[in-house]
C-alpha cells in the first residue's frame, strides 16, 4: 500500500497504442475535447444535473465512474463539482456518507486532465487526510475511478518505508497523504517539489485545521505555491475566518446542500442514548455484543488503552462473534489488516478510538456505539456517521452517557441531531465479572492493561475542556475499576492529590474554626481538655468527606420500556411503560473491608501487644476446606497449655524461653520418631528392590518377603526326621499362621523387621524371638524334645549343633 501508479499495468498498452496513433493527431483531438469541456464549465446548473454524464467530464472519468456504478451524483457532488471545475475555491459541507470524496476527486482528475498533466510535471494535486486509514480509502477510490487516466498517484502516510517513498516522490502527480508525513518529505526529501501544485484538497478539513495539526498544517501551507485551487470538505465544516486566512482563501464558495435539512445527520440513522452508571457500562456493552452476534458493530472509546483492554478481555470471554481493535499505537501493518478485515466481514465488532471516527466508509455497519461521551457535538456527528452511509444507507447509533453527561443531549438536539432516550432492559444485562477477575489474577500483563485502561479513561476525562460535562470528581472511580475486573482499584494520584489538598484546606479551615470555638468554650468552661478539639473536628471532617463521595448522582432504573424482540437489549418501541426494576445488589457494590496494615513501627508494636491478637496463628486447610491440624504447632507441654489459658502471648521473654524449652522436649521426641520411621521405610524399600533384582517370587502372591522372617538358616527337619505325609498342608498352614501372627496388632513390626535382616547375628547369639515367631520347623523341634528324656534331648541338641 505504498505509493503506486494509478494505472501501472496499462503503461505498455498505452505505448503500443501510440505506435498506431500519431502523437500530434492525438494531441489535437485531446485539445479539442478539452476545449469543448472547458467551454461548458460556466454553464453548469446543478439542479439540471441528473447523471454524471450531464457534467462536462472527460471520457476517462465518466468510464471510471460507470465501471463503479456511480451513475447519479449525490447532492454535494451535484453542487460542488460544477464550481470546482470552474476553478473556484470550495468550502464543502455535507452530511457524513454523502459522497464528498468523489466531489473533490472528480474535479481534481479533470483539472489535471485539462492541464494535460504528465509524470514529468511532478506533483499537481495533494489531498490531505487526518488519518492513514482515510488516506488509504481516498487513494483506493481514486484508483477505482481514475485508473483510465495516465497520472501516477502516491499514498504518503506514516508507518511506511520512507526511503521507498523518497526515491519515487518526483514521479508522483497526485499525493494522498497525512499532514505529518507530507511535512517530513517537504523538510527532508530533496526530490520533493510541489512548486507546480494546481490543487490542494483537505478532507475532514476542520480536523486538519484544528489544534492537533495546527503547526504542521501551517508549515505545509508555507511550502505550497499561493496560486492554486483549494477545496475543503467536511461534515462539520470550518467557517473560521482565521482558518481560511491560513489557507489564503479569501472568497471561497460555500457549498452546503444539507444546510436547510431538518437534521445534520443522515436521514436513516436512528439515534439513541442511554443513561447508566459508570459501573454498568462494561456489562451493558458485553450484553449488547452478546445480543447482536449477527451484526456489524463499531464501538468508540476514549483511549487506546481502553480499546486494547476491552478487546483483550472480551476475546478471552469468547462472545461468539469476531472482535477487532483499531487504535493509533498499533503497528501500521496491523492497522491495515484490521481495517481491511472490518470492511470485509459482516458479523464483527470493532473497538476503536476516534481514529476511526472521521471519514472511514466501512460498508454495512449496523450499529455505532459511543461507549464514552464524545468530546463535542462534531465528534458525535462523525462517530455516528460511520453507519447509515451512502444513498439510502440505514443504521443505528447508541450513545452511552453517565448521569451527569446527559447535558450533552441538549447540545446535540440544539444542533439538529434527533436523538431519543432508550432504556436498558436490566434483565438482559450480564457480565461474567468473576471470570474477568480470575483472568486478571492469572495474567499479570492483562491486569496491567486493565489498570492502564482505567487510568487512561480517568485522565481523558480530566483533560477534557468542557468541565460542565466531564468532571472527574463526579466519577465513582472505585466502582468503575471493579466493574472492569479490578478488585483493588488503582490509586489515581492526581485525584488523590487534588482531594487531599482540598480536604487539607477544609481541615485547616475546620481546625481554625474548632480552635476558635474551643477558645470561646474555654472562656466559658475551664474544664475543657484536648479531646474536645477532636470532638469538634471529627464530625465536621466526616461530613466533608461524605459530601464529596455522595455527589455522584444515583441512576434510577425507572420507566423501563419493554420490547417484544428478544434480541433487543435496548428498548425503543413502546414508550412510557413504567416498570420498576429491582436491581439486585451486586456483591461488588458492597463496601469491601480494608486490610488493616500497621503503617509505622509504633503501630506494629501496639498490634503485637494487643492481647486479642495471636501472632503467627496460621491455619492450614485441606483440599475439601477442612482444617488440617499442624502437629508442629500443637502445644504439648503443661506450661504451654497454661500459657494458652492465660492468653499471655506477650513480649515476656523469660516466660517465652521457658515455654520453648518445655516444648523443645516434645519436639525432640517427635523428631526421633520421625527419623526412625523414615529409616524403616528406607530399609523396606531397599529390601523390596533387592528382592526384585534377585528375581525371587513369593509363593503367597502379594505377600512379600518382608512380611515374614527368613528361616532358611534353620536345619531342614525333613532331613533330620524324614518326610511327613501331610507335609504340604502343614507347610501352608504354618506359614499362614505366621503371617496372621505377624499382622496382629501386638506384633512389633519394625523390630521384627530389623531382626529378620540379621539372621546370622541371631544364630550366633541364639536369640530367637520364640514368643512372636513360631515357625513350623521350630515347633517340631520343641514337640520332639518334649517327648524325649533328658539324655536323649542332650544327644539331639549335640547332633543339631554338629549338623550346623
Our CB check for ligand ADP shows the closer of 101 and 742 to be: 101
Q: Which of 60, 88, 100, 132 binds ligand ADP (CB under 6 A)?
A: 100
Secondary structure (H, E, C), 265-296: CCCCEEEEEEECCCCCHHHHHHHHHHHCCCCE
Site for Mg ion in 341-360 (CB under 5 A): 359
Site membership for ligand ADP, residue 391 (CB under 6 A) = yes
Q: How many helices (H) and strands (E) does the chain have?
A: 30, 19
Give the whole-angstrom CA distance, residue 397 versus residue 368: 5
We find the least distance from the C-beta atom of residue 266 to ligand ADP, in angstroms, to be: 9
Our CB check for ligand ADP shows the closer of 78 and 149 to be: 78
Residue 567 near which of ligand ADP, Mg ion, none (CB within 5-8 Å, type-dependent): none
We find the least distance from the C-beta atom of residue 109 to ligand ADP, in angstroms, to be: 15
State the chain's maximal CA–CA distance in angstroms.
Answer: 156
Secondary structure (H, E, C), 332-365: HHHHHHHHHHHHHCCCEEEEECHHHCCCCCCCCC
Our CB check for Mg ion shows the closer of 129 and 291 to be: 129
Q: Which of 281, 386, 389, 428 binds ligand ADP (CB under 6 A)?
A: 389
Q: Is 777 exposed, middle or buried (0-12, 13-18, 19+ CB in 10 A)?
A: middle
Site membership for Mg ion, residue 252 (CB under 5 A) = no
How many residues at the interface with Mg ion, by CB under 5 A?
2
The H or E element containing residue 152 is: strand 152-156
We find the least distance from the C-beta atom of residue 94 to ligand ADP, in angstroms, to be: 6
Residue 485 near which of ligand ADP, Mg ion, none (CB within 5-8 Å, type-dependent): none
SS3 155: strand
Site membership for Mg ion, residue 258 (CB under 5 A) = no
We find the least distance from the C-beta atom of residue 134 to Mg ion, in angstroms, to be: 7
Give the whole-angstrom CA distance, residue 177 versus residue 132: 8
Q: Is 394 exposed, middle or buried (0-12, 13-18, 19+ CB in 10 A)?
A: middle
Residue 184 near which of Mg ion, ligand ADP, none (CB within 5-8 Å, type-dependent): none
Site membership for ligand ADP, residue 64 (CB under 6 A) = no
Secondary structure (H, E, C), 535-586: HHHHHHHHHHHHHHHHCCCCCCCCCCCCCCCCCCCEECCCCCCCCCCCCCCC
Q: Which of 55, 70, 470, 480 binds ligand ADP (CB under 6 A)?
A: 70
Terminal-to-terminal C-alpha distance of the chain: 102
Distances from the Cα of 714 to the Cαs of 575, 703, 769, 804, in angstroms? 104, 21, 14, 9
Site for ligand ADP in 351-370 (CB under 6 A): 359, 361
CB contact set of 757 (below 8 Å; sequence gap of 6+): 683, 687
Distances from the Cα of 672 to the Cαs of 199, 461, 631, in angstroms? 97, 68, 15
Q: Which of 58, 61, 98, 178 binds ligand ADP (CB under 6 A)?
A: 98
Our CB check for ligand ADP shows the closer of 229 and 357 to be: 357
Site membership for ligand ADP, residue 77 (CB under 6 A) = yes
User: What would the x/- binding string for Mg ion be over residues 92 to 121, using CB under 5 A?
Assistant: --------x---------------------
Site for ligand ADP in 539-578 (CB under 6 A): none
Bridge partners of 401? 275
Our CB check for Mg ion shows the closer of 201 and 431 to be: 201
- Residue with the closest Cβ to Mg ion? 359
Side-by-side strand order, sheet with 125-128? 4-5, 152-156, 174-177, 125-128, 199-203, 229-234, 90-93, 253-255
Give the whole-angstrom CA distance, residue 625 versus residue 542: 41
Our CB check for ligand ADP shows the closer of 257 and 485 to be: 257
User: What would the x/- binding string for Mg ion be over residues 358 to 387, using CB under 5 A?
Assistant: -x----------------------------
Our CB check for ligand ADP shows the closer of 94 and 561 to be: 94
Site membership for Mg ion, residue 393 (CB under 5 A) = no
Residue 74 near which of Mg ion, ligand ADP, none (CB within 5-8 Å, type-dependent): ligand ADP
How many residues at the interface with ligand ADP, by CB under 6 A?
18
Give backbone dihedrals phi and psi of 130, rounded to 5 degrees, phi first. -70, -20
Of the ranges 67-75, 158-166, 241-249, 588-596, which one interacts with ligand ADP (CB under 6 A)? 67-75
SS3 401: strand
Site membership for ligand ADP, residue 460 (CB under 6 A) = no
Site membership for ligand ADP, residue 261 (CB under 6 A) = no
We find the least distance from the C-beta atom of residue 101 to Mg ion, in angstroms, to be: 5
Q: Which of 97, 122, 252, 708 binds ligand ADP (CB under 6 A)?
A: 97
SS3 40: helix
Site membership for Mg ion, residue 266 (CB under 5 A) = no
Residues that bind Mg ion (CB under 5 A): 100, 359
Positions that interact with ligand ADP (CB under 6 A): 70, 72-74, 77, 94, 96-102, 359, 361, 389-391
Amino acid at each position: 500500500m505504498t505509493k503506486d501508479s494509478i494505472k501501472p499495468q496499462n503503461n505498455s498498452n498505452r505505448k503500443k497504442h501510440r505506435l498506431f496513433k500519431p502523437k500530434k493527431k492525438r494531441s489535437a483531438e485531446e485539445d479539442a475535447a478539452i476545449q469543448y469541456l472547458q467551454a461548458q464549465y460556466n454553464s453548469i446548473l446543478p439542479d439540471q444535473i441528473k447523471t454524471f454524464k450531464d457534467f462536462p467530464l472527460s471520457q476517462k472519468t465518466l468510464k471510471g465512474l460507470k465501471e463503479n456504478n456511480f451513475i447519479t451524483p449525490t447532492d454535494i457532488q451535484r453542487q460542488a463539482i460544477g464550481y470546482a471545475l470552474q476553478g473556484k475555491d470550495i468550502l464543502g459541507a455535507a452530511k457524513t456518507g454523502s459522497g464528498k470524496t468523489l466531489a473533490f476527486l472528480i474535479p481534481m482528475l479533470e483539472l489535471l486532465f485539462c492541464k494535460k498533466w504528465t509524470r514529468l510535471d511532478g506533483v499537481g494535486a495533494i489531498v490531505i487526510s487526518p488519518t492513514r486509514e482515510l488516506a488509504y480509502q481516498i487513494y483506493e477510490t481514486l484508483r477505482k475511478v481514475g485508473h483510465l487516466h495516465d497520472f501516477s498517484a502516491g499514498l504518503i502516510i506514516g508507518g511506511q518505508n520512507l526511503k521507498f517513498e523518497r526515491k519515487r516522490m518526483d514521479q508522483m502527480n497526485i499525493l494522498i497523504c497525512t499532514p505529518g508525513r507530507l511535512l517530513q518529505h517537504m523538510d527532508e526529501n530533496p526530490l520533493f517539489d510541489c512548486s507546480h501544485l494546481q490543487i490542494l484538497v483537505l478532507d475532514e478539513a476542520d480536523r486538519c485545521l484544528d489544534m492537533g495539526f495546527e503547526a504542521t498544517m501551517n508549515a505545509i501551507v508555507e511550502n505550497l505555491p499561493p496560486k492554486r485551487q483549494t477545496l475543503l470538505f467536511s461534515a462539520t465544516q470550518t467557517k473560521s475566518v482565521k482558518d481560511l486566512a491560513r489557507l489564503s482563501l479569501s472568497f471561497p464558495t460555500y457549498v452546503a446542500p444539507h444546510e436547510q435539512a431538518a437534521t445534520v445527520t443522515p436521514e436513516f440513522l436512528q439515534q439513541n442514548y442511554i443513561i447508566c452508571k459508570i459501573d454498568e457500562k462494561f456489562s451493558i456493552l458485553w450484553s449488547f455484543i452478546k445480543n447482536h452476534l449477527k451484526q456489524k458493530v463499531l464501538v468508540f472509546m476514549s483511549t487506546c488503552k481502553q480499546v486494547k483492554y476491552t478487546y483483550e478481555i472480551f476475546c478471552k470471554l469468547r462472545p461468539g462473534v469476531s472482535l477487532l481493535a483499531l487504535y493509533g499505537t498499533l503497528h501500521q501493518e496491523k492497522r491495515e489488516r484490521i481495517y481491511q478485515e472490518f470492511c470485509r466481514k459482516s458479523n464483527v465488532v470493532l473497538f476503536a478510538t476516534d481514529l476511526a471516527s472521521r471519514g472511514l466508509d466501512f460498508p454495512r455497519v449496523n450499529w455505532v456505539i459511543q461507549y464514552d461521551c464524545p468530546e463535542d457535538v462534531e465528534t458525535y456527528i462523525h462517530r455516528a456517521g460511520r453507519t447509515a452511509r451512502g444513498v439510502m444507507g440505514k443504521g443505528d447509533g447508541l450513545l452511552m452517557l453517565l448521569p451527569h453527561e446527559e447535558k450533552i443531549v441538549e447540545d446535540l438536539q440544539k444542533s439538529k441531531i434527533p436523538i431519543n432516550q432508550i432504556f436498558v432492559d436490566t434483565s438482559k444485562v450480564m457480565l461474567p465479572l468473576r471470570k474477568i477477575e480470575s483472568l486478571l489474577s492469572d495474567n499479570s500483563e492483562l491486569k496491567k492493561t486493565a489498570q492502564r485502561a482505567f487510568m487512561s479513561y480517568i485522565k481523558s476525562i480530566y483533560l477534557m475542556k468542557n468541565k460542565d460535562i466531564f468532571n472527574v470528581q463526579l466519577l465513582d472511580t472505585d466502582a468503575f475499576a471493579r466493574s472492569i475486573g479490578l478488585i483493588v482499584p488503582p490509586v489515581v494520584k492526581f485525584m488523590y492529590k487534588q482531594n487531599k489538598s482540598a480536604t487539607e484546606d477544609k481541615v485547616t479551615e475546620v481546625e481554625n474554626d474548632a480552635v476558635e470555638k474551643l477558645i470561646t468554650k474555654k472562656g466559658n468552661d475551664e474544664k475543657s481538655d484536648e479531646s474536645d478539639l477532636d470532638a469538634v473536628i471529627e464530625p465536621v471532617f466526616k461530613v466533608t468527606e461524605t459530601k464529596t463521595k455522595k455527589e455522584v448522582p444515583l441512576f434510577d432504573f425507572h420507566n423501563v420500556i419493554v420490547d417484544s424482540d428478544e434480541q433487543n437489549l435496548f428498548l425503543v418501541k413502546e414508550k412510557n411503560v413504567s416498570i420498576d426494576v429491582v436491581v439486585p445488589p451486586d456483591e461488588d457494590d458492597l463496601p469491601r473491608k480494608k486490610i488493616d496494615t500497621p503503617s509505622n513501627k509504633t503501630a506494629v508494636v501496639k498490634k503485637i501487644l494487643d492481647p486479642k491478637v495471636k501472632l503467627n496463628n496460621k491455619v492450614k486447610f485441606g483440599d475439601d476446606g477442612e482444617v488440617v491440624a499442624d502437629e508442629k504447632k500443637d502445644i504439648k507441654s503443661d506450661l504451654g497449655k497454661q500459657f494458652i489459658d492465660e492468653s499471655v502471648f506477650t513480649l515476656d521473654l523469660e516466660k517465652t524461653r521457658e515455654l520453648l524449652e518445655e516444648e523443645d522436649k516434645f519436639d525432640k521426641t517427635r523428631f526421633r520418631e520421625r527419623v526412625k520411621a523414615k529409616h524403616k521405610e528406607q530399609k523396606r524399600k531397599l529390601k523390596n528392590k533387592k528382592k526384585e533384582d534377585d528375581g525371587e517370587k513369593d509363593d503367597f502372591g502379594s505377600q512379600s518377603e518382608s512380611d515374614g522372617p527368613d528361616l532358611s538358616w534353620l536345619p531342614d527337619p525333613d532331613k533330620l526326621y524324614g518326610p511327613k505325609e501331610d507335609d504340604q498342608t502343614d507347610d501352608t498352614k504354618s506359614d499362614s499362621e505366621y503371617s496372621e501372627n505377624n499382622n496382629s496388632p501386638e506384633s512389633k513390626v519394625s523390630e521384627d523387621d530389623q531382626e529378620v535382616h540379621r539372621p546370622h547375628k541371631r544364630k550366633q547369639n541364639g536369640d530367637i524371638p520364640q514368643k512372636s515367631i513360631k515357625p513350623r520347623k521350630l515347633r517340631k523341634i520343641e514337640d520332639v524334645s518334649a517327648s524325649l528324656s533328658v539324655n536323649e534331648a542332650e544327644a539331639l541338641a549335640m547332633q543339631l549343633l554338629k549338623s550346623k
